[in-house]
Amino acid sequence: MGVLTVFLDKCTNLPNSDLMTASDPYVRLELEQDNWTKDVDYGYQKSTTKQDDLNPVYGETFTFNIPTLDNMVLTCKIKDDDTGSFDDKLGWCKIKLEELGLSETPMEIERVVDRNVITANGMIFLKLSYSEKEQGAAGGNSGVTDEVDV
Ligand SMILES: [Ca+2]
Ligand SMILES: [Ca+2]
Ligand SMILES: [Ca+2]
């Protein structure tokens, strides 16, 4: 097993979708293995919501336990928190992890999430790293598996 670490830095120039105030953006990180035959879902994680902020700074770290980077796709969806109605979409991007050559040293990634002609594009800024972690590899106790409470 390995561990994918996603450091969500910030977003910039997000579109506004609220009438009297600015958008209240949060980021939903979805991880999926996009296979030829059958896709494998590795779930999603959500950032906090930043109230009335089109340039939200998060500084939040998320980890996913995954067996490999092969065919892995990280989808970032940015949405506006709207109580009482469906959350508006503010932007999204798909990042193919296999092509990046990730290592344990965090790699800075910036992607367009909302393409604009006149104004600046909406962007997301992340740092991604991946480490292959051996399970239960503490000393030479072969045959003994560490139990981890979740
Ligand atoms: Ca809205
Ligand atoms: Ca708002
Ligand atoms: Ca809102």
84 CA distance to ligand 1 middle (Å): 10
Q: Tell me the mean pLDDT in the region 12-41.
A: 96
Does residue 146 fall inside a structural domain? no
Inside any domain, residue 150: no
Å from CA of 89 to ligand 1 middle: 8
Q: How far is the CA of 22 from the centre of ligand 2 (A)?
A: 5
The per-residue pLDDT for 133 is 77
- 149 found inside a domain: no
Query: Would 100 be classed as within a structural domain?
Result: yes
Please give the distance, rounded to the nearest whole angstrom, from the Cα atom of residue 80 to the centre of ligand 2: 8
Give the range of the structural domain holding residue 107, as residue numbers without chain letter. Answer: 2-137
- Report the pLDDT averaged over residues 10-26: 97
> Which CATH number goes with the domain that contains 14?
2.60.40.150
87 CA from centroid of ligand 1 (Å) = 6
Confirm whether 145 is domain-assigned: no
Q: What is the mean pLDDT of the chain?
A: 91
- Does residue 148 lie within any of the structural domains? no
**DSSP for residue 86:** P
User: Which pLDDT belongs to residue 145?
Assistant: 52
CA of 26 to the centre of ligand 1 (A): 12
Question: Is 143 a domain residue?
Answer: no
- For the four alpha carbons of 13, 14, 16 and 18, in that order, the dihedral sign comes to negative
Q: What is the mean pLDDT of residues 109-125?
A: 96
Number of domains in the chain: 1
Residue 148's pLDDT band (boundaries 50, 70, 90)? low
Contacts of 57 (CB under 8 A, 6+ apart): 9, 10, 50
Cα 88 to averaged position of ligand 2 atoms, centre (Å): 11
Q: Flag whether the pTM goes above 0.85.
A: yes
The beta-strand segments (E) located in the chain are: 2-12, 25-33, 40-46, 57-66, 72-80, 88-96, 107-114, 122-132
Instruction: Note whether 53 and 23 are within 8 A (CB).
Output: yes
